Amino acid sequence: MSPLSDYDRSLIPLDGAHLESSLRAHVAATEFPCVGAKSALAKGTLRIEPAWSLVSGWDDVRIHQRLLEWSADYSRDPTGLRSFAVVFSEPGTMSESAFEKAMWERLQSLADKDGWIGHPYDENVSSDPEDPHFSLSFGKQAYFVVGMHPNASRPARRAPHPTLVFNLHDQFEQLRAANRYERMRERILARDEELAGSINPMLARHGDNSEARQYSGRQVGEDWRCPFRDPRSAA
């Protein structure tokens, strides 16, 4: 049997309620280490957008539009922790390298759409994925992305379905300004170590190393090169 086309997929009902409830239950679980995501869930500021497949561009326009709305909402009220999560129903299983490849394809597509519309890159971060100050930018707001999927080697990055969580970079800067960032980071690291038996070796502070290396959750070597290229950057 041949794989389903994007058109074929559109004829199959998407159980968005299941995708949303599965992620909410996952974040609410006692062992889930990210206290920031737990806070967003408790306060009702975790937005979940269901989508078809991580290896398809079928929902990219809609996802990008929702990101723009999310960015605009934050610009009007830049307070509190919040996250925007896209949960994909497919593929059910994939390797870490396959997830990483598909993740960057989706992020590249979203960035291409942001550039085509004419949104400038957030001036507080770099668009160069090799730069220690790199972050993605949508709707003039910088984002840090956390990739999660069932076959992630790190327990903290496992989720029932392929998931991309977009976290606004500015909210981390607000936490730093309020002297709350380091305390929250230490709690997350301690919980991650308790869960996995070790601290994620890919974690680094913004400005020490490119955060692009952290997005997929896969442990990569020094020779790894990010496939992302922002369309607004000079050729």
* pTM over 0.75, yes/no: yes
Q: What is the dihedral of CA 228, 53, 99, 61, to 10 degrees?
A: 20
Residue 15 pairs in a beta bridge with none
pLDDT of residue 63: 97
Specify the number of domains making up the chain: 1
- State what percent of residues in the chain have pLDDT above 70: 90
Q: Is residue 180 part of a domain?
A: yes
Span 57-81, mean pLDDT? Answer: 91
Q: For residue 187, tell me if it sits in a domain.
A: yes
Q: What is the pLDDT of residues 85-143, one digit of tens each?
A: 999 999 988 999 999 999 999 999 999 999 999 999 999 999 999 999 999 999 999 99
Averaged confidence pLDDT in the chain: 88
21 has a pLDDT exceeding 70: yes
Using CA atoms of 132, 154, 175, 46 in order, give the dihedral in degrees to the nearest 10.
Answer: 120
Domain assignment present for 202: yes
In a domain, 149, yes or no: yes
Instruction: Give the pLDDT band (50/70/90) at residue 235.
Output: very low
**What confidence category does residue 35 fall into, taking pLDDT thresholds of 50, 70 and 90?**
confident
Give the position of tokens 């974690």. Answer: 203
The per-residue DSSP string of 138-174 comes to ETTEEEEEEEE-TT-SSGGG--SS-EEEEEEHHHHHH
Ramachandran sector of residue 89 (left: φ over 0; alpha: ψ -120 to 50; beta: rest): alpha
Strand order, beta sheet including 163-168:
46-53, 83-90, 163-168, 141-148, 136-138
The Cα 207–Cα 134 span in angstroms is 8
Count CB neighbours of 129 within 10 A.
Answer: 20
> Is 168 a member of any domain?
yes
Nearest by Cα to 81 from 169, 10, 204:
169
Q: Which domain holds residue 20?
A: 13-214
Does an H or E element contain 52, and which?
strand 46-53
Side chain identity at residue 216, one-letter code: S
User: What local confidence, expressed as pLDDT, does residue 79 receive?
Assistant: 80
Secondary structure of residue 41 in the 3-state scheme: helix
User: Does a structural domain hold residue 167?
Assistant: yes
Domain assignment present for residue 100? The answer is yes
Q: 167 has which bridge partners?
A: 83, 144
**Does a structural domain hold residue 75?**
yes
